[in-house]
Structure 1
């Protein structure tokens, strides 16, 4: 009969490992899927730069997310989603019906390549324009003098400012969110009457335009519920964010602990995500 200690060791050995950035919306897509399928996993926070060398040695590329399932290593959020649906078929996220399958995969690609990219540009622009948001992305142990400095226009005066607002990205995001509101007017999910990869992709990719308020992510407190002014606070898009909040409440598990780190986590949180 195995002891409690040996059982814990067995569980640790077989548990899925997600190499991630906590603030990555592509990693959030994978976390959504893992939670929906009720698969236990361990988060391994990758330090941008040096930590990505370990990711490269393991997966042959430096980007996250990377999922390790025993001896199997899978990179890229789409490849991970397809692997999880094939290997752990309970609660499928990709429909078997050809038409619905095609719609799901097309919508996931649209979310990754349109919403995800434009949402990141919107957030970077908002950080450059909003002092409170700039301070919110700093680690909690940042010295007060540095926090106050970041909250001023000193950096911009030195020519080190963040990108100017990207009107094209903001206009595209508004168009995408309006389209999603229309789709969701008369149906509970984007493709079928059950959540699919399309739903989890769209919910995760919109994280940067408005961070969820619940206990789902290990975020600085000042970031929760914040996002891009002119998008996150516009009533026209409230039906979408209400839908997304319900998706989080129904399927995303609360983050009870900070992610384990592959290297020191004392540096600033990075949002320069590949």
Structure 2
């Protein structure tokens, strides 16, 4: 039975943009598992697989339903032991947890502050209203005031925060070493999110992170690159 992936989209159902859903897309491709993507908009998320306050990504694999990108990756490794691993044992999972924490506390906020108006514009009319109301409630100010991450000062600060990533990728082709694992897909998901919704970038053309991103886009038959960048 084909795995079903509930995947966040905006007004165009062919352009999935969630960083967390992209982690799972890459993880499924890494394991060589076919899947059916079910496009879901923000206002539909809570009703996925019976509801109960769900968030996406969610997968259904036969009778098994799993929510949360990291939990899905762990499930895939445990359920499909004969496929290429996403982690190198328990220590690999623990290190990937660190990468996830770093990404969500360093990279994700910078992307939001640089692109939140474009994420808003990416939605259909109903979901623009939902997105604006929910995010302005979270931030306590209008989206127009949240998007302050494009000044040269903010861009330079983000670039400096990415230096540990850059230094690692000067030494090796992937975060996991010679080949990619789930830690790579965690960070790739964030950059793919930005690539899907905006033409803005924190990276210069000769940045080792950009070289790594290009390698990730070409992985697994180019599943990442098959989605055109925002124009």
Instruction: Verify same fold: TM over 0.5.
Output: yes
- The DSSP-based 3-state class of the residue aligned with 1:184 is helix
Correspondence for 2:147: 164
1:68 aligns with 2:60: yes
Q: State which of 218, 221, 224 in structure 2 corresponds to 1:249.
A: 218
Correspondence for 1:17: 4
Q: CA deviation at 1:87?
A: 0.8
Q: CA deviation at 1:200?
A: 0.8
Alignment check: 8 A CA contact 1:15 1:40 kept:
yes
Unpaired segments ≥5 residues, structure 1: 1-13, 128-132, 140-158, 212-218, 259-274
Taking structure 2 as the reference length, what is the TM-score of the superposition?
0.72
Taking structure 1 as the reference length, what is the TM-score of the superposition?
0.62
Q: State which of 176, 181, 184 in structure 2 corresponds to 1:191.
A: 176
Indicate the larger mover: 103-112 or 63-72: 103-112
Deviations 1:114-138 (A, max 9, x none): 323332232126x4xxxxx987x47
Q: CA deviation at 1:37?
A: 1.1
Alignment check: 8 A CA contact 1:94 1:101 kept:
yes
- The DSSP-based 3-state class of the residue aligned with 1:185 is helix
- The DSSP-based 3-state class of the residue aligned with 2:65 is strand
Alignment check: 8 A CA contact 2:87 2:181 kept:
yes
Correspondence for 2:88: 95
Q: State which of 217, 227, 231 in structure 1 corresponds to 2:200.
A: 227
1:32-43 equivalences under 5 Å are 32-43=26-37
Unpaired segments ≥5 residues, structure 2: 9-15, 125-141
Q: CA deviation at 1:190?
A: 1.2
Q: Which has the higher helix share?
A: 2
Cα distance change on mapping 1:42 and 1:179 into 2, 3 Å: same
Q: CA deviation at 1:36?
A: 1.2
Q: Which has the larger radius of gyration?
A: 1
The alignment's C-alpha RMSD in Å is: 3.2
Cα distance change on mapping 1:174 and 1:53 into 2, 3 Å: same
2: CA distance, partners of 1:88 / 1:46: 26
2: CA distance, partners of 1:68 / 1:103: 26
1:55 aligns with 2:48: yes
1:239 aligns with 2:208: yes
Aligned length: 200
1:181 aligns with 2:166: yes
Q: CA deviation at 1:250?
A: 2.3
Correspondence for 2:115: 123
